[in-house]
């Protein structure tokens, strides 16, 4: 089973501009069983039109949250009809700061008959020590809601700090994200490299992997990767190729403005047999 997650950088529609058509084409080309899109805004004029291009409605059930009206980002989750029977969708408002941007879709995996919950999240991009505590609380509140659920997939943008940084007083670095998930019996899977900023660094401690997948229950990830090949779709925007907003190695590239993606696409393969 293939899952993809992608932060498509709408930034709550702060810049009202049409998203490029190649984003929809790139998603469609993946033929994923589950698609989770974060940082989505319905203020983007052609979003609904592009959703029709992303997903053949005869092949996918498509759901979204309703945060745009509160000037927050939305999420989209699409599940393939041949793989899943839909049960329900749910989303908690993220405007009060208690929850991350989120969307929860419950479904039955047809091959095994098991109920699976697909949870898309985007932890808010906050700054400062006290704000890092807020990030932790956002994820914890989602985990608390799901604590009695089995076979859960949580995937999204966690806005954590870089690989080489760990400080007991900085409570939203990579190790603390992982340990919080572990404390609720989730296993975290993260590809090599980073999902934002540069594709390669001379010092691996500088990598920023912000997009992760967490699993609970009888499932396991067999493959993960950060895909940046979409940069070839527009070499005027992605002048530095696979490097987004380089911050280290003495280089600094221009900022990628919305609605052009500035995260790598997270692609995962899950073992289906583990559910049986």
Phi, psi dihedrals of residue 231, rounded to the nearest 5°: -60, -25
Q: Kindly state the greatest CA–CA separation across the chain.
A: 53
Tokens of 143: 């985990």
**What pLDDT shows up at residue 252?**
60
Per-residue pLDDT of the chain (276 residues; tens, 9 = 90+): 999 999 999 998 888 899 999 999 999 999 999 999 999 999 999 999 999 999 999 999 999 999 876 778 999 999 999 999 999 999 998 877 799 999 999 999 999 999 999 999 999 987 766 688 899 999 999 999 999 999 999 999 999 988 877 776 677 889 999 999 999 999 999 999 999 988 888 788 889 999 999 999 989 999 999 999 999 999 999 988 898 875 545 556 668 999 999 999 999 999 876 655
- Enter the tokens of residue 131: 């704000």
* Structure token digits, residue 250: 């003495």
User: What is the structure's pLDDT at 39?
Assistant: 96
Rounded to the nearest 5 percent, the helix, strand and coil shares of the chain are 20, 30, 50
Residues 6+ apart with CB under 8 A from 197: 208, 243, 244, 245, 246, 247, 248
- For 252-267, give one letter per residue: b (16+ CB within 10 A) or e: ebeebebbbbbbbbbb
Helix residue ranges per DSSP H, the chain: 21-30, 47-54, 129-145, 174-183
Is-cis flag, bond preceding 259, omega within 30? Answer: yes
Instruction: Give the integer Cα–Cα distance in Å for 20 and 259.
Output: 8
Q: What is the pLDDT of residue 250?
A: 56
Give the C-alpha separation, 50 to 171, whole Å.
Answer: 38
Query: What residues contact 101, with CB distance under 8 A and at least 6 apart?
Result: 38, 39, 65, 67, 72, 73, 74, 75, 94, 121, 122, 124
Residue 241 near residue 191 (C-beta atoms within 8 A): no
């Amino acid at each position: 089973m293939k899952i993809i997650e992608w932060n498509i950088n709408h930034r709550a529609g702060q810049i009202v501009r049409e998203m490029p058509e190649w984003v929809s084409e790139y998603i469609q080309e993946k033929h994923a069983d589950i698609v989770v899109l974060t940082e989505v805004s319905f203020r983007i004029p052609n979003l609904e039109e592009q959703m029709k291009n992303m997903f053949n409605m005869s092949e996918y059930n498509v759901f979204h949250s309703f945060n745009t009206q509160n000037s927050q980002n939305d999420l989209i989750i699409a599940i393939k009809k041949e793989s899943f029977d839909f049960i329900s969708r749910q989303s908690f408002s993220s405007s009060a700061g208690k929850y991350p941007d989120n969307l929860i879709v419950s479904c039955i995996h047809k091959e095994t008959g098991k109920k699976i919950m697909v949870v898309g999240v985007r932890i808010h991009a906050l700054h400062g020590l006290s704000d890092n505590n807020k990030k932790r609380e956002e994820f914890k509140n989602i985990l608390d809601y799901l604590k009695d659920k089995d076979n859960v997939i949580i995937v999204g943008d966690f806005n954590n700090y870089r690989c080489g940084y760990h400080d007991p007083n900085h409570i939203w670095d990579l190790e603390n994200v992982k340990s919080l998930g572990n404390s609720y019996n989730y296993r975290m899977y993260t590809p090599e490299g980073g999902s934002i900023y540069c594709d390669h660094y001379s010092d691996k401690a500088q990598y920023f992997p912000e997009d992760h997948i967490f699993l609970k229950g009888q499932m396991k990830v067999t493959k993960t990767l950060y895909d940046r090949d979409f940069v070839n779709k527009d070499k005027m925007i992605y002048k530095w190729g696979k490097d987004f907003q380089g911050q280290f190695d003495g280089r600094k590239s221009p900022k990628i403005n919305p609605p052009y993606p500035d995260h790598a696409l997270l692609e995962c393969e899950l073992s289906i047999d583990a559910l049986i």
